[in-house]
Amino acid sequence: MVGGGVGGMVAALLLARNGHEVRLFERLNRLGGKLAEHEREGFVFSLGPSLLTMPRLFRDLGVGCAMVEPAELCRYRFADGSRLRALRDPVRMEEQVESLAPGQGPAWRAFYGWAQECLAASRRTFFAGPLGRPPEQARLGDLLAVAPGRTLDGLARRFFGDPRLRQYVGRYATYAGSNPYRAPAALGCVPAIEHGEGGWYVPGGLPRIAADLGGLLAAAGAEVHLGAEVTEVIADRAAVSGVRLASGERVTADAVVVNADAAALYGRLLPDRRRLRRIAGLGLSSSVLLMLAGVEGRTAGLPHHSVVFSADYRREFDDIFRHGRPAQDPTVYIGCAAVDDPTQAPAGAENWVMLVNVPARDPSRWPMPVESYRDLVLDLLARRGHDLSGRLRFVELFTPADLRDRYGAWGGAIYGSAHGLSLIPISEPTRP
């Protein structure tokens, strides 16, 4: 097994439990991959996922750490100052939508019903077997249920007349580092997961999951090698035969599972120009600028998760994906675990993780220094109700270059390739 992120750990665990001799090699000196944290002056920050969906999957594996559910999935603030509280209960969520945009509550109910059907169809097809060909049990109705050929923005326009609700739906593209005006409508199934199974938090931070998985790996008899970088997957035309480590050591194996970007596999570990060209043709996903802030005092009414939307969503994604520059008016995600977990910040303080979608390229190529962009984001938040003036103890930055250097992320892209459709119009009609 190459790579000790959560995907690699779970794959190694399942293989070990099925009787295979498993050796896992991780370049870093810890397991968990992007499921990581950073500490400073008593503040603890998540560098990766900030919530957990489908916790039953981890429970089924034997992960035993505590999990709690915040009061709100997320709170959205739009550029006009209006707000939408995303609540797990679909009935209450419909009420919140109706309060924001009178007459649109039933539209959200219809959208949620579509999301449920899309998720069910995806589980019967795309998640049910090897990628690359439709599973045998696929039905035409299942394939149509994912709205093939329609973008996520096109899906939002099918259901919602209010532009704020279309922006809310478009945000689900960013879960895959993609552009809602190019991403497939199938990403609209995410609300069925969030409202169906909730968005959860692990007290002490989500890296507790990686610690639990590490214990399960040991119990299953898997060998874990930390600080062991794999530089080559050894193979001939017939089969793989092992891996080579940075130390020069050759490790033989009957099979090799690689938990890394496909570009890293076919560009470096197992060079394949044809496959690499196909991957490059998909384009890079977005990257992120993380702003880790130690904030003095407590913010009245602050939820665990909130999103402050830009005034022009299309321009924001054009900046990122067409022009390769950070948006001048970005959407900002704010996560504050201290709202639900006092261990994550000193008494009377808050740990703010501010996440901004940016292009997957080195910040040295941005049109402004990264510190100037930090100030732009803080000024924007101040104008939209989150003024941190006089409250900041520090702000640390985690950039696409850090993603590239720490995790080997292709170009600093957070999810490798972008999800998009190649045969779709850029814009679609407002109503079907």
CATH code of 12's domain: 3.50.50.60
Residue 307 backbone phi and psi in degrees, to 5: -130, 130
If one counts every other C-beta atom within 10 angstroms of the C-beta of residue 297, the result is: 11
> Is the pLDDT assigned to residue 260 strictly greater than 80?
yes
Same domain, 301 and 392: yes
Three-class SS of 36-54:
CEEEECCEEEECCCCCECC
The sign of the CA dihedral 241, 5, 118, 180 is: negative
| Interval 81-103: pLDDT, tens | 999 999 999 999 999 999 999 99
The neighbouring-strand residues paired with 330 are none
Which of the residue ranges 150-154, 169-173, 280-284, 311-315 would you say has the lowest mean pLDDT? 280-284
What is the rounded average pLDDT of the residues 355-363? Answer: 96
What is the rounded average pLDDT of the residues 182-203? Answer: 95
Q: Is residue 19 part of a domain?
A: yes
Residue with tokens 């794959």: 11
- Model pLDDT, residue 142: 72
> How many Å apart are CA 325 and CA 392, to the nearest integer?
27
Same domain, 237 and 184: no
Same domain, 307 and 393: yes
Domain stop point among 235, 262, 281: 281
Same domain, 310 and 355: yes
Long-range contacts of 213-219 (CB under 8 A, 24+ apart): 213/6, 213/9, 213/10, 213/13, 213/31, 213/61, 213/63, 214/9, 214/31, 216/13, 216/61, 216/62, 216/63, 217/9, 217/12, 217/13, 217/16, 217/24
- Model pLDDT, residue 14: 98
- Model pLDDT, residue 132: 53
> Is the pLDDT assigned to residue 159 strictly greater than 50?
yes
Q: Is residue 64 part of a domain?
A: no
Query: What is the extent of the structural domain holding 351?
Result: 282-412
Q: Is residue 431 part of a domain?
A: no
> How many Å apart are CA 201 and CA 38, to the nearest integer?
17
Q: Is residue 317 part of a domain?
A: yes
Residue 12 backbone phi and psi in degrees, to 5: -65, -40
> How many Å apart are CA 165 and CA 87, to the nearest integer?
15
Residue 255 backbone phi and psi in degrees, to 5: -150, 150
Provide the 3-class DSSP secondary structure of residue 290: strand
- Model pLDDT, residue 428: 33
- Model pLDDT, residue 299: 97
Same domain, 176 and 108: yes
| Interval 113-124: pLDDT, tens | 999 999 998 888
Same domain, 167 and 227: no
Q: Is residue 115 part of a domain?
A: yes
| Interval 306-352: pLDDT, tens | 999 999 999 999 999 999 999 999 999 999 999 999 999 999 999 99
Same domain, 262 and 230: yes
- Model pLDDT, residue 122: 84
Same domain, 405 and 314: yes
> How many Å apart are CA 223 and CA 413, to the nearest integer?
30
Same domain, 181 and 228: no
Same domain, 293 and 400: yes
- Average confidence score pLDDT of the chain: 92
Spatial neighbors of 242 by CB under 8 A, at least 6 apart, are 234, 250, 251, 252, 253, 256
Q: Is residue 53 part of a domain?
A: no
Q: Is residue 215 part of a domain?
A: yes
Domain stop point among 235, 256, 281: 281
The neighbouring-strand residues paired with 333 are 307, 355
Same domain, 186 and 242: no
Domain stop point among 177, 197, 217: 197
pLDDT band at 421 (very low <50, low <70, confident <90, very high): low
What is the rounded average pLDDT of the residues 133-156? Answer: 75
Q: What percent of the chain has pLDDT over 70?
A: 94
What is the rounded average pLDDT of the residues 247-262? Answer: 95
> How many Å apart are CA 104 and CA 162, to the nearest integer?
8
Closest by Cα among 217, 218, 250, 215 to 234: 250
> Is the pLDDT assigned to residue 429 strictly greater than 80?
no
If one counts every other C-beta atom within 10 angstroms of the C-beta of residue 71, the result is: 12
CB 230 within 8 A of CB 268: no
Structural domains in the chain (count): 3
Q: Is residue 58 part of a domain?
A: no
Look at the pTM and tell me if it is higher than 0.85. Answer: yes
What is the rounded average pLDDT of the residues 392-401? Answer: 97
- Model pLDDT, residue 56: 95
Same domain, 333 and 309: yes
